[in-house]
Amino acid sequence: MSELLREAFRAYHGQRIGAIFDEIGKYAATRNPHGYTEDDIPRLVKEVRAEMRAEREASQALAAQ
């Protein structure tokens, strides 16, 4: 009997975890509208850093005038 209950719990738990991951996947899809992948991260970081550097340099140039 104990094994039967243990197996039933395992099956229930597995289904519940699957449902949670489905919910997380749906939420994550709304947070990535551009479809970025892990391979895009280094390029995006370089782009953002370049933009920040350009803005900082522009503000410093204005302050120096």
The verdict on 65 and 48 lying in the same domain is yes
The verdict on 65 and 41 lying in the same domain is yes
What's the pTM value of the predicted model, to 2 decimals?
A: 0.52
pLDDT tens digits along 8-41: 999 999 999 999 999 999 998 889 888 899 999 9
Q: Report the domain count for the chain.
A: 2
The verdict on 29 and 49 lying in the same domain is no
The verdict on 26 and 42 lying in the same domain is no
CB count within 10 Å of CB 4 equals: 8
Q: What angle do CA 15, 33, 54 make, to 5 degrees?
A: 135
Q: How many whole angstroms separate alpha carbon 47 and alpha carbon 58? A: 17
Which tokens in the block code for residue 30?
A: 């709304």
The verdict on 41 and 29 lying in the same domain is no
Q: How many whole angstroms separate alpha carbon 36 and alpha carbon 57? A: 29
- Of 65, 61, 34, 64, nearest to 47 by C-alpha is 34
Structural domain harbouring 61: 37-65
The verdict on 44 and 25 lying in the same domain is no
The verdict on 58 and 41 lying in the same domain is yes
